Each structure stands twice: as C-alpha cells, then as structure tokens.
C-alpha cells in the first residue's frame, strides 16, 4: 500500500427506518453483518462495518433509522444513537427510497440541514425498480435545491447495482491516512453481540407485527469448547402472554428460531454451534432507562 495516497475514515449511513441501510452495508462488505427484515426499526444499535481495499479503509456506521416516535425510552435511545453518528465522521450517506418520500425522510433531511458538517452523499435506493432512470431527475433536482449534496449516487442495495461507483465516490471524500483497524477485521462488534443480533433477526421474521418490538436478546454464555461454540441466550419479553407466543405451540416456534439462528451463526463464525434459548419476562424493559443500560443499550452513546 502507498501511504501517501491511502485514505481512511468513517462513513455514517443514515435515513428513515427500513430504507435499506443495513442491506447496503452488507452488500458493500460482501457478507452479512447487519441484521435485516422487512419491518422498520430492526436496527437498534450502531454497528461498524469495515471494508479495506488496496487504496482505502472505509468504516461504515450502520445506524437505527431516525423516526418521529420518541415516547418510549427505547425509541429515544435509537434516535440518539442515529443522531450521534452524524457527528465525528468524514462523510455521510443520506439514503432515500427512489420510489417514495415520507415525513420521516423529511425529518432526517431537516436534521442534516441543522447539524451536518461532513460532506453528504445522497444515495437513492431501489433504482432497479425504475425502468426509465430519467424519472429520477425531478427528485434529485428537488432535493438538491434544499441541500448542497456533495454527490448523488443511485443504487440498488438488494441487486448490487452501482455499488462500486458509490464506494469510489465515498473514497474520494475520505482524508489521507493510515489504517484505523486491522485489515482482517470486519467489525468492531464482538461475536457475542453478533449472535444476539442474529437471534433477534429470526424472531422478527417468525413473529407477528408488534411483538418483536417488545423483546430483546442477551447472550449469557459464549464459549469455544474444542471448536464447538456453546451459546446460551435469553429472550426477554415484557409480558407473560408474550412468553407463550415466543415459545409457540409445543415449543415449535422457539425451536425454529433457534434452528435458523444456529445455521446462520455457523456460516458467520465458521464453527459448529450448540445453541440454547430461554424466554423470560422483564416487565417494561423497553421504557426503562436503567434496564436498557443493563441490557447494553448505552454502548453506542
């Protein structure tokens, strides 16, 4: 590597909930790091995804989606975590859906107008669903009149369209500098954290509309026993009635969640996994600042 031209820095990826931020980072990294689902607010923590090339190290900051509902302590925490990511980065991606514009997009744009210091790249996602790309021009022109974007890049995070162009654009705005992380590292998060997130993702996919927002996962044991990962995790819910739903009839739902999570952990960690799941009630955890801190929801702030 030529140190005089090597660049390194942080890239915050912000946008409304469920706009495709985690999918974009997974696509850039070439493997799954950030959990995803079709439901908004799946991401609760800031997660760093590290991409190292011959010419640069880009450290992507996946953030919870900024949203307007700040009534619960959990939602306030996610908004703080997302807003904090705009500060102290070298470049910001403002990701929007090329097919729609919502009040939550408006709120993110307003926050950028108030506080963004770093260059902001407007990324329009889901352009694979638009046959005539000229149809994007009115949206780009309208948004560019409201904010001085450093660049505009249309992409499809799901299909991988134009990702290399986006990476090249971002690299241009990074300062010259040395490696910040070991080039072999993919993230700053622990394997224990990633295991908990995978379990939570499977719960999002198997449960009904509202219940996933009332649960969290804590990994109590993560041991390597001669190459076998022995993992025990507790799923906390807020009411006793939710516990029976998570377990399912004859334990079938919990068993399926465990099976899906275990298989994905084995792919991610490259080891066989023995996974045990338990479900416990912790009333009001999502609206209690102290409980949130005890469950690790203060690590990002």
Residues annotated as binding site? 15-22, 62-66, 125-128
Contact present, 61 and 29 (Cβ < 8 Å): no
The strands making up 47-52's β-sheet, listed across from edge to edge, are: 47-52, 56-62, 7-14, 91-97, 120-125, 151-154
Task: State how far Cα 144 lies from the chain centre.
Answer: 26
Helix axes 137-146, 103-115, angle to 10 degrees: 40
Question: In angstroms, rounded to a whole number, what is the distance separating the alpha carbons of residues 243 and 252?
Answer: 13
Burial class (CB in 10 A: 0-12, 13-18, 19+), 154: buried
Annotated binding residues for GTP = 15-22, 62-66, 125-128
Nearest to 228, CA basis, from 273, 194, 261: 273
What is the Cβ-side half-sphere exposure of residue 75, based on CA atoms within 13 angstroms? 11
């Amino acid at each position: 590597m030529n140190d005089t031209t090597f660049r390194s820095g942080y890239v915050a990826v912000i946008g409304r909930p469920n706009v495709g931020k985690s999918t974009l980072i997974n696509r850039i990294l070439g493997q799954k790091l950030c959990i995803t689902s079709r439901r908004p607010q799946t991401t609760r923590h800031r997660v760093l995804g590290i991409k190292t090339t011959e010419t640069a190290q880009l450290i992507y900051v996946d953030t919870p989606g900024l949203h307007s509902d700040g009534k619960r302590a959990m939602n306030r925490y996610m908004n703080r975590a997302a807003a904090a990511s705009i500060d102290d980065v070298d470049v910001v991606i403002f990701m929007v859906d090329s097919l729609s514009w919502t009040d939550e997009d408006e709120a993110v744009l307003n926050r950028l107008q108030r506080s963004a210091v770093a260059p902001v790249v407007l990324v329009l996602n889901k352009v694979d669903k638009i046959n005539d790309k000229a149809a994007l021009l009115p949206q780009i022109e309208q948004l560019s009149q409201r904010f001085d974007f450093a660049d505009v890049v249309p992409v499809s995070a799901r299909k991988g369209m134009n990702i290399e162009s986006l990476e090249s654009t971002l690299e241009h705005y990074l300062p010259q500098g040395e490696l910040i992380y070991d080039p072999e590292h993919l993230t700053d998060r622990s394997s224990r954290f990633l295991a908990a997130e995978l379990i939570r993702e499977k719960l999002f996919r198997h449960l009904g509309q509202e219940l996933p927002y009332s649960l969290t996962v804590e990994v109590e044991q993560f041991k390597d026993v001669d190459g076998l990962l022995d993992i025990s995790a507790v799923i906390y819910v807020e009411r006793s009635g939710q516990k029976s739903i998570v377990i399912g009839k004859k334990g079938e739902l919990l068993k399926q969640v465990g099976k899906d999570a275990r298989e994905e952990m084995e792919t991610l960690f490259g080891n066989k996994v023995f996974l045990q799941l338990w479900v416990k009630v912790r009333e009001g955890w999502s609206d209690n600042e102290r409980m949130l801190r005890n469950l690790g929801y203060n690590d990002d702030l």
